[in-house]
Amino acid sequence: MLNLFSLKQEKKDEAAGGGRTSNKKKASAAQLRITKDINELELPKTCKTEFPDPNDLLNFKVKIFPDEGFYRQGQFSFNFKIGDQYPHEPPKVKCEHKIYHPNIDLEGNVCLNILREDWKPVLTINSIVYGLQYLFLEPNPEDPLNKEAAIELQSNRRLFEQNVQKTMKGGSLNGVYFDRCIRS
């Protein structure tokens, strides 16, 4: 459908600019929404955002520093990629570190219901950050991506905690090398 209002505005812009057409790119719905979400972020003291390219709000990092639970003293970084369909589709979120966690696999994929079947457009980046933070406070062995860690959490919490601490210091467990992610 032809939008007459935008055509009239383009003609006004051309006249004001000496006949030149504007090269300014319009923001997509995803860009507008993510800008709103980021402006309204209310992160707890255990989280912070990082924008490698300040002009690209669709790709950023969230760092989580749990201060309690199995993962206290850890430092975990997540990449957020916002697609063109946001907020109708959830962002892609991946952990940068290889960690021993029931809900994060060894490739960094995250098992969080609001990033899958329970996503709704009313949810925000804030909701996701709080969901990620909660995974570190209360790992969920009922819906695992790392089945070995989940079974261990259910059957022997003490051994699970020892393995979490061991892997957070960096090194191997069951033939898998884990990144050091203890805060200095």
| 82-120: pLDDT as tens digits | 999 999 999 999 999 999 999 999 999 999 999 999 999
CATH for 140: 3.10.110.10
Q: How far is CA 50 from CA 4, 78, 162, 166, 172, in A?
A: 41, 10, 31, 27, 29
Could you identify the residue written with the tokens 């004001």? 16
Q: Which domain holds residue 57?
A: 27-178
pLDDT for position 26:
80
Q: What is the band of 17 on the pLDDT scale with cuts at 50, 70, 90?
A: low
Mean pLDDT of 45-52: 95
Residue 171 lies in a domain: yes
- The mean pLDDT of the chain is 89
Comparing 125 with 6, which gets the higher pLDDT?
Answer: 125
Q: Where are the alpha helices (DSSP H) in 20-137?
A: 29-39, 125-137
Residue 59 lies in a domain: yes
Question: If pLDDT is split at 50, 70 and 90, which confidence band does 160 have?
Answer: very high
Q: Is residue 22 part of a domain?
A: no
Whole-prediction pTM value?
Answer: 0.84
* Residue 21 resides in a domain: no
Contact 74, 144 (CB under 8 A): no
**Catalytic annotation on 95?**
no
- Does residue 140 belong to any structural domain of this protein? yes
Q: What is the pLDDT of residue 4?
A: 41
- Indicate whether 1 pLDDT > 50: no
- pLDDT value of residue 184: 73
CA dihedral angle for residue 105, residue 109, residue 145, residue 45, rounded to 10 degrees: 90
Residue 111 lies in a domain: yes
110 close to 132: Cβ distance less than 8 angstroms: yes
For residue 24, the model assigns a pLDDT of 56
Percent of all residues in the chain with a pLDDT value above 70, rounded to a whole number: 86
Give 173: exposed, middle or buried? Use CB within 10 Å, 0-12, 13-18, 19+.
middle
Please tell me the predicted confidence (pLDDT) of residue 15. Answer: 56
Question: 124 lies in a domain?
Answer: yes
Report if residue 81 sits inside a domain.
Answer: yes
Give me 63's structure tokens.
């760092």
Instruction: Give percent above pLDDT 90 in the chain.
Output: 81
The SS3 assignment for 166 reads helix
Say how many domains are in the chain. 1
